[in-house]
Structure 1
């Protein structure tokens, strides 16, 4: 963790569980102006780790017979995904990102496509409605044909799952997830934010936007309606380890549901890499160490990686308070950054006592 801080991340903190023992640690600062240190128990915006919570909620409804994985989404949401696409795209395709629907983020933050960070500030206190964001994704040119491989990771999919949950349960999706996933897991420091601020002790969250913001700007106060059921959760690293331990032990969804969640397909991530993705779960195979399940997450200024080995005996959840730290070189490419190497070494140590020959890539790179 000290190496990650020295490489340029203001603060890094996390929790590792192995063989019945727990290690918690932190390095660096939560506030670059005051020098307030980070600590392992800080609350944090965990970004797309939220997708596992949403997927678990959907699988609970599958178990109750209210949702069929291979049913067309148009059966439930014809107003949001109309016509032929609504008939071709299934619930499963939304969960494993093979729907072909593009991500709405590029359209909600248009200035980022032209080399300006203006949209980040313009939207800081904007209240988006899920249907508004979904329309941005659905109306954009398709990323691929429904069901084709590799899939294309898209936040539009998970917002649609949130709307699906609301239609079949009659309860707002975030409320349903809170009652039936977060509380079921006994998580005391996890929840959807009620406003732009993070309740409880937390770090400031610094966004570099691939060099567009220098120095990086604090976005710890931000209306997270742009992320919703795809990436809005606040949690702690201890809560994430508890959640994934219970999920992978069949105590949040049934064993049959978990088996479905662990059926993976290749999916092209937002950074262009290809990952093995199930229903709201990443599969990460680390040579010499084992197979891990979990998710990473990135929102403005906050990054998270949470992985649990398939036998449940090794867990790692790590948070950083800087994102998109790699600036382009004169040719326009983004060279490797010391933070990437330091994080890879941290993950290898956390998952495998340093014996891993490789690990998951850093979500902020």
Structure 2
């Protein structure tokens, strides 16, 4: 049963902790709670609403993984086939022979993250102390070529050996998966995912953006960049080609819950594929944490000890998390309109912030069975 009062209080506590605005949907069987707190625009005071569209970042990876597994089911892709069989020019030689499609999906390919090389004036995690916001401003309207981005990741020093664990979370993997989808389907990854995953799931408010501006009702999103941007800066208008099918989807909390509910019910991919998605390995996240990661999904323990499956995601200024219980009965999707609120210590490590505790408390209430 859902406790509306506790959910509303927990949501409001996140706003009080420092998030300008956030919204969420929690489902328990046929019960649905939606809530919103704070503002969508800090200048005008326009309030957030629970039906707003939002950039959901790496939640996109679940959609991309599902599209690849559909092609595995149809025999067009071998899950444990070398990527060099399909994309020999992008991952040539011995690496192309050693890295499998599965390793790309679960981040054990050993391929480095391309992002710090694309945004050359700052470095990625974990060297946070050396970062700066200037590149984000410089690249607001840059149209990145995915082949060039992949080339940066492949040419960079290897982050590990193919199949070795822990793996390293890398967007290079998912840009390669997008090229793989294009190779075997003859259409763009965005069209393939839209037709075979988004439309199949009946998601009316989920789409890949084709311009820097978002469409439909949405909140502005604000980047704090570890306290280096104070007050946080508006990055609502941004060309998402730097992420592509690894992290560029826009969606709503209702659509996310619908998608993960259908996915975990075996209605997007079959049960055999779903079992593969839930086979996890250890991966080092972009924040430098050791996590369990499957094929575009990762687990999260609920307050009652039950396991939830889903994904989180961030973009410059926005973040989201969507989790569904293993039996599909309890679901939670939350979106926030600020990112990287934690300041850094002298070693470049993010420091605790009240927002962290408030969000954790919200998740506990939302996942309480």
Match of residue 171, structure 2, among 145, 155, 159: 155
After superposition, residues 155-194 of structure 1 pair within 5 angstroms as 155-194=171-210
In 2: Cα distance, 1:32 partner to 1:141 partner: 42
Q: CA deviation at 1:335?
A: 1.8
Match of residue 236, structure 2, among 215, 220, 227: 220
Q: Report the secondary structure of 1:2's partner residue.
A: helix
Q: Is the 8 A contact 2:303 2:364 kept in 1?
A: no
Match of residue 96, structure 1, among 99, 106, 114: 106
Match of residue 68, structure 2, among 47, 50, 58: 58
In 1: Cα distance, 2:343 partner to 2:142 partner: 27
CA offsets, 1:103-140, max 9 Å, x none?
11111112223432111011100001111111111110
CA offsets, 1:198-248, max 9 Å, x none?
100000010111122111111110000001010000000000000000000
Out of 210-219 and 240-249, give the one that drifted further. Answer: 210-219
In 2: Cα distance, 1:88 partner to 1:349 partner: 44
Q: CA deviation at 1:289?
A: 3.8
Aligned counterpart, 2:31: 21
Shift of the 332–193 alpha-carbon distance from structure 1 to 2, 3 Å rule, reads closer
Aligned counterpart, 2:362: 346
Aligned counterpart, 1:144: 160
In 2: Cα distance, 1:6 partner to 1:109 partner: 33
Residue 339 of structure 2 is aligned to residue 327 of structure 1:
no
Q: Is the 8 A contact 2:98 2:162 kept in 1?
A: yes
User: How many residues of Structure 1 are paired with residues of Structure 2 in the alignment?
Assistant: 353
Q: Is the 8 A contact 1:289 1:352 kept in 2?
A: no
Match of residue 79, structure 2, among 69, 76, 80: 69
Q: Is the 8 A contact 1:115 1:212 kept in 2?
A: no
Q: CA deviation at 1:276?
A: 1.1
Out of 291-300 and 112-121, give the one that drifted further. Answer: 112-121
In 2: Cα distance, 1:331 partner to 1:141 partner: 23
Residue 144 of structure 2 is aligned to residue 119 of structure 1:
no
In 2: Cα distance, 1:73 partner to 1:115 partner: 33
Aligned counterpart, 1:358: none
Q: Report the secondary structure of 2:301's partner residue.
A: strand
CA offsets, 1:141-182, max 9 Å, x none?
011111111111000000000000000000110001001100
Q: CA deviation at 1:331?
A: 5.7
After superposition, residues 290-305 of structure 1 pair within 5 angstroms as 290-305=306-321
Shift of the 197–332 alpha-carbon distance from structure 1 to 2, 3 Å rule, reads same
In 1: Cα distance, 2:163 partner to 2:294 partner: 14
Match of residue 195, structure 1, among 198, 204, 211: 211
Shift of the 332–163 alpha-carbon distance from structure 1 to 2, 3 Å rule, reads closer
The TM-score normalised by the length of structure 1 is: 0.95
Shift of the 145–232 alpha-carbon distance from structure 1 to 2, 3 Å rule, reads same
Moved over 4 A (4+): none
Match of residue 3, structure 1, among 13, 21, 39: 13
